[in-house]
Chain A
Amino acid sequence: MRDLDFDHKAEQGKAKKAALGTDIDLSTFPSDPVHHDYVDDLTVISEEDRKRMLLAGVDVSETERSGTYVQKDSSVLHSHSKQEGLEVIPIKQALEQYDWVYDYYWKLVQVDTDKYTARAQLDLHDGYVIRALPGSKVIYPVQACLYIDKENLSQNVHNLIIAEEGSELHVITGCATSGHLRRGLHVGISEFYVKKDAKLSFTMIHNWAEEMMVRPRSVGRVEEGGLFLNNYICMKPVKSLQMYPTTHLVGKGAVARFYSLLVGSPGSTMDVGGRIFLKEPDTRAEIVARTISNGGEIIARGDLIGEVAGVKAHLECKGLILNGGSIHAIPELRGMVDGVEMSHEAAVGKIAQEEILYLMSRGLTEDEATATIVRGFLSVDIPGLPSQLKAEIDRAVEESDKDMM
């Protein structure tokens, strides 16, 4: 049951360049589907693929996971929920089977935003719908993996993440490419719904390849008393990454926190932002970014918009330039009325020699001292994040400093 209206709108957006980021010639990235068989047992996935997935936080053994979705190229490899009150469904299947999906599909992201959103409608491969039913607490994270194996493929996915009223849901999503892949495009639409008094944490780890182009488009909506934690980690090389996830706090007391850790390697361009609209009293927003340029180019944007009195918002953007490259921090605050409390701090610098020497006087070599400081710089305490996800983030940080040093 395809909605022709979306197709029609998408056609109109097909040629539209994105507001930010290098324009991509989509004709060089075909969307032709690549078939892979569905597997019931995740352990049949090849050792190599498994390792790549694990680096992105997706563990095929499903230890301490409450559900799994794995998509390779355009095909769903696996999708299931281990817990009652939790649904994990491929989006194409969901669109065919459930009318309620249309209450969410393209309701936050506009299908004609740009050529990438248009492609995600016109050439949709698949994607996941993850939903925690009202009141259900999904303590172990649900894991989702979007994996690209086919050279030059444009992988087009659309995801819906819904935390129903009073529920708690943690999702870790890893996007990765197979070891041999060099070039490809990932277009990912994500729409987040955090309903009244629900709690959603969404942790995304990206492990791309050197010639990968990445264009996620995501928007969230948080209702009264809801909490949305959005963590983004990208520490591996990527040719071009541009995204500006946006969240609307539409209910009293709603909270959103965005944390991102970025490492820009040589040849990588990352333009990553976060935008939060505070539309109701007592809403809170926080955006924290830690960026390291290791020779790449990073633009770290942040935009907080306080529309009513009694909101609080803070933006923190810290950058370290380690081995050349550049970091451009663009923090923006917009207070629209009296009575908003908004602040930001941004800093771009280098590692202080004094800190390196201090650690050296405790016996570390200069390289070890530098690595320790970098690891500390990237270690951000994220309140409310389950320990499994904290461990995944720590692991990504560990991996990245092996590469950096």
Chain B
Amino acid sequence: MLVVEDLRVELGGKEILTHIDLEINSGENHILFGPNGSGKTSLLMTIMGYPQFNVTGGKVIFKGVDITNKPVNERAEMGIGMSYQRPPTIHGLKTRQMVQICAKNGVDVEGLAGKVNFTDFLERDVNDGFSGGEIKRSELLQLMAQNPDLMLFDEPESGVDLENIPLVGQTISKLLQRDIEVDPERSRREVREGRTKMGLIITHTGFILDYVTADKGQVLYNGVLSCKSNPHEILKCIAELGYEECVRCAI
């Protein structure tokens, strides 16, 4: 379980997140909406532990442990992972090696890469000259190898061509144990209740909702979480009324 309690965050001396409260229970998937610059990525980076996001108040608790001051790698070890929107290029490090790093103990790199159509990129340097969609597939490949318990997705569908959106969506759905296959042993409810993976997905377009079910939606507006509701409802509201409407909801 992830609990974010009354979190306040500064970046470069400026407050960018104000009194954030958020709770993601084991097995839950949340969608995070919000206009550009509202602080969505900052929230994800803060949960991941990026030191430039200076926590000035509140706490982040993961699996019952206060991780507010833990370094990034310790959070990764505890089971937090992130799919980045614009990850850096690492020259001289092959994507294949990166996948091995993520997996720690041996992994069928080819097999995993095949699942996201990424076999041809394994000998390329990580993110070097990748297109937007290639970056997203590379990030998913790394997450598959890492297999964390809490997955933070920063706009996983942006820059992905139409053809690959179903692939990206279905992969995320599988990662979050939401890809329900017929199981003769267990009822769907049992499968659903047996989920442990947690997700927090930033989306602008909502395309991802066609492939991944979600339990809750939230809107981040000017550094404040302003709305908790059914993600489809939020999406519809934003489409019809725009984010301006969120101002009215922000108390």
Contacts and interface: CB of A to CB of B under 8 A. Distances in A.
Contacts of A357: 50-51, 72
Interface residues on A, range: 20 to 34
A363 B102 contact: yes
Contacts of A363: 73, 76-77, 101-102, 104, 146
B88 interface: yes
A298 B8 CA distance: 46
Nearest to B143: A362
B37 interface: no
Nearest to B51: A357
Contacts of B92: 375-380
B81 interface: yes
A352 B127 CA distance: 15
A341 interface: no
B73 A372 contact: no
Interface string B66-98: 000001110111000110100110111100001
Interface of A: 352, 354-355, 357-366, 369, 372-373, 375-380
A361 B125 contact: no
Contact of B87 (A358, A365, A372): A358
Contacts of A354: 88
Interface string B211-236: 00000000000000000000000000
A385 to B, nearest CB: 16
29 contacts: A352-B88, A354-B88, A355-B90, A357-B50, A358-B87, A359-B90, A359-B101, A360-B71, A360-B76, A361-B48, A361-B49, A361-B72, A361-B76, A362-B76, A362-B98, A362-B102, A363-B76, A363-B102, A363-B104, A364-B101, A366-B71, A369-B73, A372-B90, A372-B101, A373-B93, A375-B92, A376-B93, A376-B125, A379-B92
**Residue of A359, A373, A375, A380 most packed against chain B (CB within 10 A):** A359
Contacts of B49: 361
A376 B49 CA distance: 25
A347 B66 CA distance: 41
Contacts of A360: 71-73, 76
A270 to B, nearest CB: 21
Contacts of B76: 360-363
Given A364-B73, A366-B71, A358 B146 contact: no
Contacts of B177: none
